[in-house]
Each structure stands twice: as C-alpha cells, then as structure tokens.
Amino acid sequence: MTYDKSIAAFEEAYRVIPGGVDSPVRAFSGVEGTPPFIEKGEGGYLFDIDGNRYIDYVQSWGPLIFGHRDADIEKSVVEAVKRGLSFGAPTTVETELATEIVILFDSIDKVRFVSSGTEAVMSAIRLARGATNRDNILKFTGCYHGHSDSLLVQAGSGLATFGTPSSPGVPADLTKHTLLATYNDIESVQKCFADSPDGISCVIIEPIAGNMGLVPADEEFLKQLRTICTEHGALLIFDEVMSGFRASLKGAQGISTVQPDMVTLGKVIGAGMPVGAFGAKADIMAHLSPEGPVYQAGTLSGNPVAMAAGLTSLKKLKANPSIYVELGNKAKKLMDGFMKAAQTAGIPLVTDVRGSMFGFFFSDKVVKNFDDALQNDTEMFAKFHKGMLDRGIYLACSSYETGFISTATTDDMIEETIKVAYEVMAEIKG
C-alpha cells in the first residue's frame, strides 16, 4: 500500500492542528508510520484518500455496532437534519431515547444527555459530590474517564501510549481529591477508604476497562467494591461509555450481577454522533438542576440529530438480541485465530473478549491491571500493527486500546484477517 496523499495531508494538518490530530491517540505515536486520512466508510470497511481499503476493527472507537452508513440510521439522521440541526429546546426524541435506556437499566430511573463521554463523567462526579457532600473520589490506575482535570491522573489509553502518568495544566489542588487504587485489587481500595477520614464521595470504575487494553473486572472484585461503597456511603459509578450496549445490550450490567448507583454512557447511544449520558435512581438525580442545587447544563445536550441516530440504533438492537451472540462469536473467532497465529510463530500473546469487544497483549501473562498491561511488548505491537495495516487491516493504533466487531464484519473478513495475522506474525518472528 502507498500512503503518499495521507502523508501529505498529515504534514498539512500538522501546520494548523497540534500534532496534526484532534485526539492524541490518532497520531500513531505508539505505532509505526503515518495515520491514513479516511475518505469514507462503508459497512465493515474504511477507505483512505490514497484509495486503500481496510477491514475496520476500530468502528469509530466503538459506537458503530451496525458498521458504517447503516441505512436505517442514515435515514433517521437525514430526516432529523431536514427538521433542523439544533434547537436548544426540548424535543420528544430526547424523552423517547431516555425511556428506552431507563427500561433497560435497573440502576437508572432518570438520565440526562450531554455531548460527550468526558462531559458525562465530569457531570456524574459533580453530582456524586453534591449528593454526598464529600470532595474525594476514587478511581483506578489505567482506567480512562475522559480528560476533565480531576480524572486525568494515571489514566490509560493516550497517556499510557506517551508514557505520561498525568498532564501539565492540571492543578494539584484538584488532583489531591483523586485517590488511586489498583484495578482488580480490593486491598488497595480498602486502604484508600482507611486513609480518607473525610470520606469518599464516589468510586468510579470501568467495569470492563477498555483504555488499558481490554481488561474486565473480576466479578468477585466488583461484588466487594459494591459492599465497601455501601458500607461507607460512597456512590459506585460504572463508566460504561465504552462498554454500554457493546458488551451486551445492558453493557457490563448484562454480564455482572453488581448494580451501581450511577452509570455513564456514550458512544454507542449516539450511533456515531457525539453524545453522552449519565443516569441514576431518582433520589440521586433529584440533586441535579433544575430539581436540585447541583448545576449542569449544555446548549447542545440532547441534540435532535444525535438523539434520532441513537434511538434508531437502540431500537434495532432491542429488536435483534441475537446480534450480541453473533458479534461475540465473531470476536472470539478472531481472537482464537490471533492466538493460533502467535503460537505457530512462537510469539507470546494473551487475548480476551467481552461481547463485541476484543483485546490482545503481546505478553505471556494474563493482564489484570495497568501494571500488567505496561509489561506487554509495545514494540512487538507496533510491528504487528504496521504489518496488518499495510495488508488492509485497520486495528486501534495503541496496545492500550480495545477492538470492536460490527454486524457488517463478515466471516470472510474475519478469516482474511486471521490469514494476514499468520503472515505478519511469521514475518515478525523471522
């Protein structure tokens, strides 16, 4: 493959956009080469401006369960656009989508829409602090909850790729209220509570971590976490911005028996449009303005175009629950293929799957937390990523990210990908 036009486009973008990209992980800093500039998507494929075609396992980082340009979602978006892009006023489609979410999640009585996952998490934490009248929060090393100040501490994904544990520009006065525990380690959580005489307002966790690679929380760990939060009066927040409607129709809550106090959602509920949401039981949400004193607002919150796309996508998912079985089987088939390719080449690899989410590490150790993830062979991943990309396979450009299967990902695409993986693994080993 040639990337001449993409290289030129990247150089041009670099002159007017920091790093040439509008989100750091797109910059290919953790892998080899220059990011392809995408011209269009179609079903399970991406096409770049050089005319290269790729089997897409990023799917806009998760939201495109039905692939690119799904006819039903596209139609609903076009119809919504014809009525107007934004009103800054209530629309019935907001209520329709909210109702669908409330019906699905036992932990949610009311939900508020925002415009991004970062905004959803930021607002949920403000609400938790307001509802408990406590300042401290607890998060887990390697879990990424967006780039708001109090959460940009030991985050995964882009920060891990750059080897940076935090970010300049984040005041110490804010991060001093953020306590760090180790994922899947309940003793580290107990220590945080013991060391917090003023109490902890909330514990936020990705129940299926997707920003240090795919690292699911152990069920027993989540149960113990639930018990500790209840005992100490702290609110348990499940960040399901990535896993919501992806791991199952009910996200991680369709897999785990543990029920959180609050949930943050995003990505999939917009079917590719910018959207986020946070929800909880009515008594917690009653603290939120205009019912209560905790202020949160957004001019484009509940944007009618995003709401229309999300409602169409969610209705399609509810009408076809077998989709998740099919997607899970395909994800497992892909990871089994990667594993066999690695074994054949004599390369250590561990894999995992949760619904339509998949992940792999070049490591001989099962990954349970961020420290484990950091021990994976990032140089090997970079070579693998480059080899796959050059053969038309578009994977996330960081070893700390998760991959996604869509309904447009066919068995033939999976088989082609596995065949390419064998070639690349053998080439790397050779």
Provide the pLDDT for residue 162.
36
Provide the pLDDT for residue 154.
58
276 in the same domain as 240: yes
250 in the same domain as 396: no
* Number of domains the chain contains: 2
Asked if 239 is an active-site residue, the reply is yes
Provide the pLDDT for residue 330.
98
99 in the same domain as 63: no
254 in the same domain as 123: yes
| Structural domain span for residue 283 | 71-319
| Domain boundary, last residue among 273, 304, 319 | 319
290: tokens are: 């205009």
Provide the pLDDT for residue 430.
83
CATH number at residue 149: 3.40.640.10
| Domain boundary, last residue among 272, 304, 319 | 319
393 in the same domain as 413: yes
| Domain boundary, last residue among 280, 295, 319 | 319
CATH number at residue 8: 3.90.1150.10
Please state the pTM of the whole predicted model.
Answer: 0.94
Residue type, 90: P
179 in the same domain as 157: yes
Provide the pLDDT for residue 20.
94
Provide the pLDDT for residue 394.
98
Provide the pLDDT for residue 278.
98
Active-site residue (options: 57, 144, 183, 394): 144
Asked if 144 is an active-site residue, the reply is yes
Active-site residue (options: 48, 56, 239, 352): 239
Provide the pLDDT for residue 220.
98
Asked if 183 is an active-site residue, the reply is no
332 in the same domain as 310: no
Active-site residue (options: 110, 139, 250, 267): 267
97 in the same domain as 223: yes
Give 350's strand partners.
361
262 in the same domain as 381: no
246 in the same domain as 106: yes
Query: Is residue 240 within 8 Å of 251, Cβ to Cβ?
Result: yes
Question: In tens digits, what is the pLDDT along the chain, a chain of 430 residues?
Answer: 899 999 999 999 999 999 999 998 898 988 999 999 999 999 999 999 999 999 999 999 999 999 999 999 999 999 999 999 999 999 999 999 999 999 999 999 999 999 999 999 999 999 999 999 999 999 999 898 888 877 777 544 444 433 333 567 777 777 778 888 999 999 999 999 998 888 999 999 999 999 999 999 999 999 999 999 999 999 999 999 999 999 999 999 999 999 999 999 998 889 999 999 999 999 999 999 999 999 999 999 999 999 999 999 999 999 998 999 999 999 999 999 999 999 999 999 999 999 999 999 999 999 999 999 999 999 999 999 999 999 999 999 999 999 999 999 999 999 999 999 999 999 998 8
Provide the pLDDT for residue 267.
84
Provide the pLDDT for residue 183.
96
353 in the same domain as 302: no
302 in the same domain as 397: no
> How far apart, in Å, are the Cα atoms of 255 and each of 85, 267, 373?
37, 19, 23
Provide the pLDDT for residue 268.
85
